[in-house]
Copies of this chain bind each other. A is one copy, B any other.
Amino acid sequence: MQRTPLDDSLKVTRNQPTLREMVLDKLRQAIMSFQLLPGDRLVERDLCDKLGVSRTSVREALRHLEAEGLVESESSRGPRVAVITLEDARDIYELRCVLESMVVQLFTQKATRQQMAEFDHAWEILKAALRSGDTVAIVNAVSDFYGVLYEGAGNRIAGQFLSQLQARVNYLRATSVSQKERYVDSFKEMTKIVDAIQARNPEAAHEACVEHIKAASKVALAALAEKQGKAVDPITPPLNPAQSLR
């Protein structure tokens, strides 16, 4: 009688999160859901009181958020939720353009049938959430939608970076008045991306994504530029085969 080989399934997992990990999640969530807004001071003792932990856990979580760009500290001013500059916003959109179009292209090329089915499903849920107008539902649906995309693109590091970039412009996207006016166009652009993905056309998906982010960045950066009384260069999208054939 052959013994079944030992594998990892017997291994005891021990995944009790530390207090600082829980604090990190809570703070990130509070920033993403606008309980904490850009510019808000993050006074350590206040956070200790609210979260019921010591300054050690709070400080270590703040260090992590600083590395992610969601929190900033200036010398002698204490930490605060990062306020995005116009320059950084345009840099982030430029980067997203290149990264997101790559992820969309990779997903189109590589997604398994199951991942494509999950993608279709996430898209349906997102459409329903957009129809409902429920902000919490939309935020969750968008997050799931991108999560499926990142998973199927087969590049975990790109997914991580894109999540960080999106987190940093989360407030800007939510508050650009013209973003709301773009709602119909935005929906059309996303539909174009989804159609190209479903048609397994990486070039078309890539281009649709580039167009979408170009349009989104134009609006968001214009709003921010106006608010800050500055001009801003448009982003440079990635080189694209369709471009050169024109």
A156-B91 in contact given A14-B75, A67-B68 (Cβ < 8 Å): yes
A27 within 8 A of B: no
Interface size class of A (residues with CB under 8 A): 35 or more
Q: In whole Å, how far is A167's beta carbon from the nearest beta carbon of chain B? A: 13
The answer to whether B158 and A94 touch across the interface, beta carbons within 8 angstroms, is: yes
Query: Does more than half of chain A's interface fall in helix, strand or loop, or is it mixed?
Result: helix
A106 within 8 A of B: yes
Contact of A155 among B61, B94, B158, B161 (CB under 8 A): B94
Interface residues of A (CB under 8 A from B): 14-16, 18, 20, 56, 59-61, 63-64, 66-68, 75-76, 87-88, 91-92, 94-95, 98-99, 102, 105-106, 109, 154-158, 161, 165, 202-203, 206, 233, 236, 238-241, 243-245
What are the 4 tightest A-B residue pairs by CB atom distance, in nearest-first order? A67-B67, A241-B244, A91-B157, A63-B63
